[in-house]
Chain A
Amino acid sequence: MNIFTFLAKIPRQIIFLAIAIAIAIPLIVPLGMPVNIMPKSENLFQAIDSLGPRSKPILISCDFDPQSMPELYPMLLAIMRHCFARDVKVILMALWPQGPGLVEMALDVVPREFNKMYGIDCAFLGYKFGVSAVLLGMGENIKGVFPNDYYGTRFDSLPILQDIKNYEDISLVVTLSTGDPGWRQWLLYAQSRYGVPLGTGVTAVSAAEVYPYVETGQVVGLLAGMKGASEYEVMVQRKGYSDEKRMAVQGMDSQSLGHLLIMVFIVLGNIGYFVIRRKK
């Protein structure tokens, strides 16, 4: 086997090992690559930054599972920190059954950092099955869909929820979405039908599909994958809202090095392929 045959068919175990090393090293020895803010991320940040203590609450829908945690969980933490720093009330819910565990993890961490109280500054409605019925029902009466919060407390008995009837009492919906149900359904039922402003954070896989809706203004802002999460973390820190650990920023050096290595493998594989084909 000559070098070009090897390049055309590099054993996958070698590629996996190289990628693992390329990703592990920057985590241990950070390279400190800069994070540039994209306009679509900044739009979502500005939409939340324009809110204040007198604003209606923001609704965050955690429509993801642990598989998407590296991309979406840092967004959840950063957005919650931003809201609490601005004294904006936060209502959380989930359209994925795995969502409640992740929301509880965030609720254990973020409100404490800002001395915020559950029931007054934030509430968790829980998970509901049947996306279309849930989102349409919330447009009429949120209490009808979620008679109790996730912990079984009556909807009316939580101060944050007492003045909430439907989407008109929500300043912005942010869906952190890894697939269906997720941003598509929020756009379909909540934004298109009831006109509620919608922002979204999605896994990078879905990002290209969201762009047309951001261009038309149907979605006010977009965080795309770990890169979007890191941009939001940087914006929150630059404004002095929080100095907590930035998980997505920590991962961006690895992301860049991993991409570089994949590009090198693509080039090497193509060199091997074309040289062998010319010889034939």
Chain B
Amino acid sequence: MSLSPDLGVWVAVFLTLCIFSFLYRDNIFYQFAEHLFVGVSAGYLIAITWHNQIYPNLIIPLFQEGRIIYIIPLAFGLFYFARFIPKIAFLVRLPIAFLLGWGSGVIIPAIFQRDILQQTQGTLLVRDAFVKWDTGLWAIIILIGVICTLIYFFFSRERKGILKQASNLGIIFLMIGFGASFGYTVMSRISLLIGRMQFLLGDWLGIIR
């Protein structure tokens, strides 16, 4: 065992233990670490946005290179603050309308391509899927799963007969999906704890290498 001589490590250890103390109950150490994190995060975000975004992409082109066209994004950005002045508050609608229009135009076709066209193609039973028996079997299971799950969300007819059976099978597929997601969530949370343990036992106490 060799304790770290690094002051930064000791600060990180103190803050880690402050956060862990919440596992027992809410307390002043946890609140201190929580508030410190919020403050540091906000400050860091402001600084990095200025240096990476506003300064190189707006200040330099507009004020140093004299590219007047950049006055338009500057104005649109400033319009967001018009909300604080009731007489010109309507101006905030301009950047919002621009973003909504541009965003919808960009995202809708892309989502159609990503989530509908290519996913539907992937669900179809094509010859390539049956090159090996196991991939063919999985392709059939996926197709049945997709159809039964869609039937479960089909509310326009009363569920009886084949519709009810397919819908019940759809529930099973959904539950398996939820179970897999939950299992992965547990795995993720345990990983976070492992990371902190590696830090405490390795970087701080020097017990593990």
Identify the A interface with B (CB < 8 A): 12-13, 16, 19-20, 23-24, 27-28, 67-71, 97-98, 100, 126-130, 132, 136, 147-148, 187-189, 191-193, 203-209, 212-213, 215-218, 224-227, 245, 247, 250-251, 254-255, 258-259, 262
A203 contacts which chain B residues (CB < 8 A)?
188, 191
Interface check B44, CB cutoff 8 A: yes
Residues in B194-209 with C-beta less than 8 Å from chain A: 194-198, 201-202, 207-209
**How distant is A71 from chain B, measured CB to nearest CB, in Å?**
5
Binds A, one of B116-124, B154-162, B165-173: B116-124
- Asked if A192 and B52 sit within 8 Å, CB to CB, the answer is no
Interface check B131, CB cutoff 8 A: no
- Asked if A148 and B192 sit within 8 Å, CB to CB, the answer is no
CB-contact partner of B197 in A24, A130, A191, under 8 A = A24
- Asked if B122 and A212 sit within 8 Å, CB to CB, the answer is yes
- Asked if A70 and B119 sit within 8 Å, CB to CB, the answer is no
- Asked if B198 and A216 sit within 8 Å, CB to CB, the answer is no
A209 contacts which chain B residues (CB < 8 A)?
181
CB-contact partner of A262 in B49, B142, B186, B197, under 8 A = B186
Interface check B45, CB cutoff 8 A: yes
Binds A, one of B27-35, B79-87, B106-114: B106-114
**How distant is B204 from chain A, measured CB to nearest CB, in Å?**
13
**Cα distance A215–B124 when bound, in Å?**
12
Interface check B72, CB cutoff 8 A: no
- Asked if B208 and A97 sit within 8 Å, CB to CB, the answer is no
- Asked if A97 and B48 sit within 8 Å, CB to CB, the answer is yes
**How distant is A243 from chain B, measured CB to nearest CB, in Å?**
14
CB-contact partner of B186 in A13, A67, A132, A259, under 8 A = A259
A225 contacts which chain B residues (CB < 8 A)?
184, 187-188, 191
A-B contact pairs, 9 of them (CB 8 A): A19-B193, A27-B208, A126-B52, A147-B56, A187-B114, A203-B188, A216-B122, A245-B209, A254-B190
Interface check B4, CB cutoff 8 A: no
Residues in B83-109 with C-beta less than 8 Å from chain A: 103, 106-107
Query: Which of B23, B187, B196 has the most chain A CB within a 10 Å cutoff?
Result: B187
Contacts A192-B113, A204-B187, A208-B177 given; does A129 touch B49 at CB 8 Å: yes
A193 contacts which chain B residues (CB < 8 A)?
110, 113
Identify the B interface with A (CB < 8 A): 23-24, 44-45, 48-49, 52-53, 56, 103, 106-107, 110-111, 113-114, 118-119, 121-122, 142, 177, 180-181, 184-188, 190-198, 201-202, 207-209
- Asked if B23 and A71 sit within 8 Å, CB to CB, the answer is no
- Asked if B198 and A71 sit within 8 Å, CB to CB, the answer is no
How many A-B residue pairs have C-beta atoms within 8 angstroms? Tell me. 136
- Asked if B191 and A204 sit within 8 Å, CB to CB, the answer is yes
Query: Which of B142, B177, B198 has the most chain A CB within a 10 Å cutoff?
Result: B198
CB-contact partner of A204 in B23, B184, B209, under 8 A = B184
Contacts A27-B197, A28-B208, A193-B110 given; does A132 touch B191 at CB 8 Å: no
**How distant is B143 from chain A, measured CB to nearest CB, in Å?**
12
Contacts A28-B207, A132-B107, A215-B142 given; does A207 touch B191 at CB 8 Å: no
- Asked if B208 and A127 sit within 8 Å, CB to CB, the answer is no
- Asked if A128 and B194 sit within 8 Å, CB to CB, the answer is no
Contacts A13-B24, A70-B191 given; does A218 touch B114 at CB 8 Å: yes
The chain A residue with its CB closest to the CB of B23 is A16
The chain B residue with its CB closest to the CB of A253 is B194
B177 contacts which chain A residues (CB < 8 A)?
208
**Cα distance A117–B196 when bound, in Å?**
32
B103 contacts which chain A residues (CB < 8 A)?
132
A98 contacts which chain B residues (CB < 8 A)?
44
- Asked if A23 and B48 sit within 8 Å, CB to CB, the answer is no
**How distant is A74 from chain B, measured CB to nearest CB, in Å?**
10
A215 contacts which chain B residues (CB < 8 A)?
122, 142
**Cα distance A136–B109 when bound, in Å?**
13
CB-contact partner of A226 in B24, B142, B194, under 8 A = B194
CB-contact partner of B201 in A28, A97, A255, under 8 A = A28
- Asked if A251 and B194 sit within 8 Å, CB to CB, the answer is yes
